[in-house]
Chain A
Amino acid sequence: MKTTIKIAWRNIWRTPMRSFLVIGSIVMGIWAGIFVIAFSYGLNKQRTLSSIKNSISHIQIHHPEYDKDYDSKYFLENPDLIKTELETNANIKAFAFRSLLNGMISSPVKSNGVRIIGINKNQEKEVTGIHSGLVEGNYFESKRKNQILIGEALSKKLKVKLRSKIVLTFQDTDNNIVAGAFRVCGIFKTQYTKYDEGTVFIQNSDLQRLIKSKEFHQVALLCNSLDDVDSTYHSLKTNLNDYEVKDWKTISPELAYADEIMETWLFLIMIIIMLALIFGIINTMLMAVFERRRELGMLMAIGMNKSKVFFLILTETFFLSLIGAPMGMFLGALTIKLTSETGINLAIVGEGLQSVGLGNIIYPVIETKFYIFIGVMVFIFTLIAAIYPSRKALKLKPTEAIRTI
């Protein structure tokens, strides 16, 4: 075996340019595959984190009926019980009680339907990132009443600026129409234009004064990390069984599905790349076999059996992949390492990205399992690529291969 491996190794360097080209294509293919995987995952992760950070948080608690029609009459009963439960759970980093209403926002120019979120500014600051996404103004710093934060996209639509006056109209718990004048104290911008266009933040105290109720509709909470979400979710579901507890995957299933769909899609992409590489490898090995017909025929003539000839061709094919695959993986890992720190700036298509909840800068990320998957794929596909040329070699008749003995 040692000599066969030695022969195989030396054989692949008999035509160095050809071997370098095949190895180069393997390196590039694997690098491209890893990069596409990491980029796509980075894109998806960013979208998920952005949604978690700006709106949905990790876990939400509602009245059990609230999800049916988002009616404001379904407020959270006994909020102190919830508060105590949340305060005693070590996995919970922060939580915020919110009042939620659907209503209309009107400027002198235009009106728009919006989701009105009544917040406790200090609590909310710990849970969502709206305060850090302000492009103008401040985060309810003034002690004046009826301040409002609106999204940049909405401000453009309504043609309002900082300190402009707008009117919010909505129904109170008795279904009476209530209207209130608010002054824009801040304009925020998230990575999701649609969210910015349809969401406004006011302080709970102002909202509760207008609807004459001190109730809350939602508690949004953040865990210490994404890994803590599952256990916290199950614990809260058990301990707060009179309420509807939902984790981010249930609140926004499209985010969770996106991960699964992305995974399947990326596996397919990798398989397509490997299939393309297979043809390059087969072509190279077939050329090698045909060029060495005489030599292979001689080997069989002097007594090298078919399994050893097969192993020789197989080993040569594996050498090509075994050189290319780790180099491709290393290059891929290096690229991910660099770009995951600096990010890839896609400002040129920033508007399109923001419309689907993404920022201009994408940070590629890849899970270790993909490297393992790629390693296994390279092994399997190399084996497949080696079979055809090896079989061709085995079909050689020594007399035909070497013409004469």
Chain B
Amino acid sequence: MEIIKTTHLTKVYSNNGLEVKAVNHIDLSIEEGEFTAIVGPSGSGKTTLLNMIGGLDDSTEGTVKIAGTNINSLSENELIDFRLKNIGFVFQAYNLIPVLTAKENVEFIMLLQGLSEKERKQRSEELLNHVGLTDKLDSRPNQLSGGEQQRVAVARALASKPSFILADEPTANLDSHSTSTLLDMMAEMNEKEKVTFLFSTHDQRVIDKARRVITIEDGKIIKDERR
């Protein structure tokens, strides 16, 4: 089943009258259960592409369909709601809520979805257990290492049972041990639970794990390799 479909997706930035095409007519299709990495040099348009797929940025031209819904036609509030229900985000800088514990961070997104306290508690504990943080449920982000914070972020992204997870450079701030642990965990989720992952990355270790690698340069897909 096709989860993500972009058609002629284009983003043009204007700077002092100079137009720069960050993303240039990209047609892309991601199927359910894929473990895909978007790679390319800095400024190639990876992040802009992911922002548009995640509904965080408007496209200048073209459309993004997520599970059949054209997100370009949604209002701002509808888009926020759509992201809440359909997309899990993992940020490069973890971006956990610093005043909440690991468990509360994971619960927070379910709270926004309106799940009951019992459901939230049960699922957050399950997810944190799944990412190997059973003993860190009540730790606040500043009490966790970078790798642990990113695992909480993955658990949070999974908490809303999204259609797919967008992860921008998820390993950029991690040491090699944490990177390896995180990648193994995400690969396992992908294999066993068919969770769809879409990464942007420079990290060769992520590229090595990916089963599909899309290379973009100057806003265009120059290579789409399935393994």
User: Which of A's residues lie within 8 Å of B, judged by CB?
Assistant: 3, 6-7, 10-11, 14, 294-295, 298-306, 308, 398-399, 402, 404-405
Contact = CB atoms under 8 A, between A and B. Distances in A.
Which 10 A-B pairs have CB atoms at the shortest separation, nearest pair first? A303-B84, A10-B99, A298-B95, A405-B168, A399-B56, A404-B168, A404-B47, A305-B80, A399-B57, A398-B56
Contacts of B160: 303
Interface in B88-102: 89, 91-93, 95, 97-100
Contacts of A306: 76-77, 80
A21 to B, nearest CB: 20
Contact of B112 (A6, A10, A298, A304): A304
A304 to B, nearest CB: 6
Contacts, number: 76
A405 B91 contact: yes
B31 interface: no
22 contacts: A7-B100, A294-B93, A295-B97, A295-B98, A298-B95, A301-B83, A301-B89, A302-B84, A302-B112, A303-B80, A303-B113, A304-B112, A306-B76, A306-B80, A398-B56, A402-B91, A402-B95, A404-B51, A404-B168, A405-B51, A405-B54, A405-B89
B81 interface: yes
Nearest to B82: A303
B155 interface: no
B182 interface: no
A100 B100 CA distance: 81
A12 to B, nearest CB: 10
A304 B113 CA distance: 9
Contacts of B47: 404-405
B50 interface: yes
A7 B97 contact: yes
Contacts of A6: 100, 104
Nearest to B108: A3
Interface string B40-51: 000000010011
B206 to A, nearest CB: 15
A295 B83 contact: no
